[in-house]
Structure 1
């Protein structure tokens, strides 16, 4: 499992990010620049997620000191500071990527995967397992339950994969619709409920269905 250092002082964001990252990584979180610098120097991480507006030392100072000490761990800055000058400065002192708040959690995961792939540290993610029976192979879009193939294709497969990649995250219907069908779709958001019903029927009896909760007037969450 990949190991991530999260240096983030914004509690309103850090809790949701931490919970999300725990689905696919071993996460250590610290809340100020001094702690972040110490952790990054003393332990080996696959990637560092670094806020800029931190107590003690700001993110720019932390990053500059890490690079001066030849710590080569990939660093993804995630911050509300969105000016071009801030972005350019971040890259100039050694940032590998720069993500401005607010952002979707699945975008954060995509950025992390891209950096890990670039650094050669990305684990094989072609197979996703959920519970004891459900296995999804993203290389050939095949779904099996207890080793037996189940026909889940097209939007149904996209929907299943989206939930598996966003466990313990509340997914509003509108967000699911925008992600799976797209803003320019000629259908309506009610199609989400139709496909959720189809997916539940095809995966009946699995832990996926047991742990997939409907949040009334909001959306869904896969525990």
Structure 2
């Protein structure tokens, strides 16, 4: 599932946008810049939708701090500030796209999908491939070569997250926050349980051989 962070203090707009986005993504909302920065720093989101005129910390400063901290999550600015200077400033400090209000929701979705494809999160057919492993994001079908493999619920989500972050060290805590969520009733040890399940289901595959455990840290898919 695509995971989006929406940082927007216009409650009416935020709710309408969220209702629309939740048809194809999981959405977390924050309503001021400081909360938005805290959420964005967690590294668990596929994309950030950022207003500029925010209380506590404005969108420009939020984005600047985010990039200075090395967080490279794609950011789409959506704002009423339509001046060329504002757009240039946004791109100069690290925005990936800029959409002025008012906008059509279908255009917002198209821009989100374009950025996710550019970032390697999705391909043109919502298919993820890794050696002989193939995952269909639309219907959650998984095959190894021509043979179907059953990955259920969080198993599927976890494999997708690993594939979307190849060659990146993923701490167990970050995986837990991304897949199970901050408010989960379970504990971070569930990550190890699910990794073991996945290795068993995908044994003798390139995926299993390239999935490495980093002791006391987390995992990396080479």
After TM superposition, where is structure 1 displaced by more than 3 Å over at least 4 residues in a row? 123-130
Match of 1:16 in 2: 16
1:94-131, Cα deviation, whole Å (9 max, x unpaired):
0000000000000000000000000000264489989x
Q: Is the 2:126–2:137 Cα contact (8 Å) retained in structure 1?
A: yes
Q: Distance in 2 between matches of 1:77 and 1:54?
A: 12
- The count of aligned residue pairs is 130
Q: Distance in 2 between matches of 1:87 and 1:69?
A: 22
Q: 1:38 to 1:113 in 2, by over 3 A?
A: same
Gaps of 5+ in 2: 128-135, 140-222
Gaps of 5+ in 1: 131-223
Q: Distance in 1 between matches of 2:81 and 2:75?
A: 16
Q: Distance in 1 between matches of 2:45 and 2:62?
A: 15
1:140-173, Cα deviation, whole Å (9 max, x unpaired):
xxxxxxxxxxxxxxxxxxxxxxxxxxxxxxxxxx
Stretch of structure 1 that moved more, 120-129 or 9-18 = 120-129
Q: Distance in 1 between matches of 2:30 and 2:76?
A: 15
1:12 deviation in Å?
2.0
TM-score normalized with structure 2 length: 0.56
Q: Is the 2:34–2:56 Cα contact (8 Å) retained in structure 1?
A: yes
Q: Is the 2:48–2:76 Cα contact (8 Å) retained in structure 1?
A: yes
Q: Distance in 2 between matches of 1:37 and 1:122?
A: 25
TM-score normalized with structure 1 length: 0.56
Q: How does 1:53-132 map to 2 (within 5 A)?
A: 53-122=53-122, 124-125=125-126
Q: Distance in 1 between matches of 2:62 and 2:34?
A: 8
Confirm whether residue 3 of structure 1 aligns to residue 3 of structure 2: yes
**Root mean square deviation, CA, Å:** 1.9
Structure with bigger gyration radius: 1
Q: Distance in 1 between matches of 2:45 and 2:115?
A: 13
